[in-house]
Structure 1
Amino acid sequence: MTLPSLGSLVPLPATEHPALLAPPVAAALAGWAHAAEVAVVEIDPDLADTAAMTEAYDLPLTASANCVLVGGRRDGEERVAACIVRADTRADVNNRVKRLLDVRKASFLPTDRAVEESGMEYGGITPVGLPAGWRLLVDARVADVDVAIIGSGVRRSKLLLPGRLVAALPGAELVEDLAVEVG
């Protein structure tokens, strides 16, 4: 099987390079049927943010998918979701996500909490290996890209995989219009 590739990044089989992954990501990939189709690419951790990375490695913005963690409460119950959206869009937290979670108000999880509970580094949080009980909402536009670049759980690398597989992650819910266009 050929690994996905993108821009000037050098793809390596993700399951063979666990040192480039956060522990929960490595564990999730080890048990996933599609793991052989996932590549990991090493990057400069100072370039982990989307704008810097896409420019430095000659990547299309539409291939980059961001994972944002959102939470809200209803009847004393907290509801958390990871929202995966293309980098040329932003999660519609105040409307679409709020309705999907069925909460009065949805907001981004505080950074320290997101890092602690996910077991991943800020700037590297990914939909792969998130805690059980968190919903995984995937904007349909992410599933349409040939190769998506997502976090690996650490800032020094990224994962490459077909967009259709982002939507096939365990527990993923494919959602139309989860995000709105930027600009």
Structure 2
Amino acid sequence: MLAKLVLVLAVIIVGSFLWYFMKSKVSGAHQQVRDRAIEGNFGRAIAAKPATKHLAMMGRTLTLGADPQRAGELITHVASSDDRVTDIHPEQGAVVIQIDGSYPRIRALLLPDRTVVGVEAMTWEMGFPQGAAVWDRIATAISQAATHQGIPVGEGAREFVKGENASGRPEIWIVRVA
């Protein structure tokens, strides 16, 4: 009985070591293939269409036709219900929303006659703007909540440009100023 138990434990331990080394070898090979694809034209061609789609999602803006206090409360309420939103804080004439700790950063400009909500800065990593699906989900929820409350909602678009960044840091993209 004791011999069988020792044998089972030995098989589990040896199997664990083998699995660990095989997994790291596969992960390393996968990383090399991914890096080569991104560096080559093939990788750029594959990533171009989804990246363009994500960039368009990040450029989505909403204009709410309501007083600033009502619009700010609605935006804060909707954004705070999303798990990926890590910070919401008011600023002079605006509400700033941060996703995943820093970027994308969304700003709701609380103007006297309307409120404009959109991404003002984002990171670009691994060939894509990060957080596009989250922003799209939040924007859709804000639009639906505003429509449900009888607030007129308009949609628009923004363009982004690559900002200055320190070496070794993710690329930061900001709204293009006309």
Q: TM-score, normalised by structure 1?
A: 0.24
Of structures 1 and 2, the larger Rg is shown by 2
More helix by share: 2
**RCO (CA 8 Å, sep 6+): is it higher in 1 or 2?**
1
